[in-house]
Amino acid sequence: MARILVTEKLAQRGLDQMAVAGHEVDVRLGLDADGLLAALPGAAALVIRSATKVTAEVLAGAPDLVVVGRAGVGLDNVDVPAATARGVMVVNAPESNILSAAEHAMALLLSMARNVPQAHAGLVAGRWERSKWEGIELSGKTLGILGLGRIGALVAQRAHAFGMRLIAHDPYVSAERARVLGIELVDLAELVGRADFLTIHLPKTPETAGLVGKELLEKAKPGLRVVNAARGGVLDEEALADAIASGRVGGAALDVFSAEPCTDSPLFSLEQVVVTPHLGASTAEAQDKAGEQIAEQIVLALAGDFVPYAVNLAARGASEAVRPYLGLSERLGRSISALCEGLPSPVEVTYSGLLAGEDTAILTLALLKGIFAAGSEEPVSYVNAPRLAEERGLEVVSSAKTTSLDYVSLITVTSGEHSIAGTLTGKGRLEAERIVMIDDHSVDVPAAENMLVVRNDDRPGMVGVVGTALGEASLSILSMAVGQSPVAATALMVMTTDRPVPAEVLSHLRSQEGILSAHRLLSDLG
- Report angle CA 490, 496, 499 to the nearest 5 degrees: 130
pLDDT at residue 409 in the model:
94
pLDDT at residue 526 in the model:
44
pLDDT at residue 75 in the model:
85
User: What does the pLDDT look like over 426-439, one tens digit per residue?
Assistant: 765 556 899 999 99
Q: What is the DSSP string of 416-443?
A: TTEEEEEEEESSGGG-EEEEEEETTEEE
Single-letter residue type at 375: G
The answer to whether 409 and 353 are in contact (CB under 8 A) is yes
Residues (pLDDT < 70) of the chain are 313-318, 379, 383, 427-431, 524-526
The answer to whether 434 and 325 are in contact (CB under 8 A) is no
User: What does the pLDDT look like over 249-289, one tens digit per residue?
Assistant: 999 999 999 998 999 999 999 999 999 999 998 999 999 99
Sign of torsion over alpha carbons 309, 312, 314, 316: negative
Q: Which residues are catalytic?
A: 231, 260, 278
Single-letter residue type at 227: V
The answer to whether 63 and 20 are in contact (CB under 8 A) is no
CA dist 191 → 85, 130, 186, 228 (Å):
43, 33, 6, 15
Nearest to 421 by CA among 375, 404, 518: 404
Secondary structure of residue 282 in the 3-state scheme = coil
The answer to whether 351 and 421 are in contact (CB under 8 A) is no
Sign of torsion over alpha carbons 33, 36, 41, 45: negative
Map out the domains of the chain with their CATH numbers.
3-96+285-312 (3.40.50.720), 98-275 (3.40.50.720), 319-438 (3.30.1330.90), 448-526 (3.30.70.260)
pLDDT at residue 392 in the model:
87
User: What does the pLDDT look like over 72-117, one tens digit per residue?
Assistant: 887 889 998 898 878 899 999 988 899 999 999 999 999 999 999 9
- CA 354 centroid distance within chain: 33
pLDDT at residue 517 in the model:
94
Single-letter residue type at 330: E
Secondary structure of residue 450 in the 3-state scheme = strand
Give the integer Cα–Cα distance in Å for 109 and 227.
Answer: 7
On the CB side of 379, CA atoms within 13 Å amount to 23
- CA 351 centroid distance within chain: 27
pLDDT at residue 175 in the model:
87
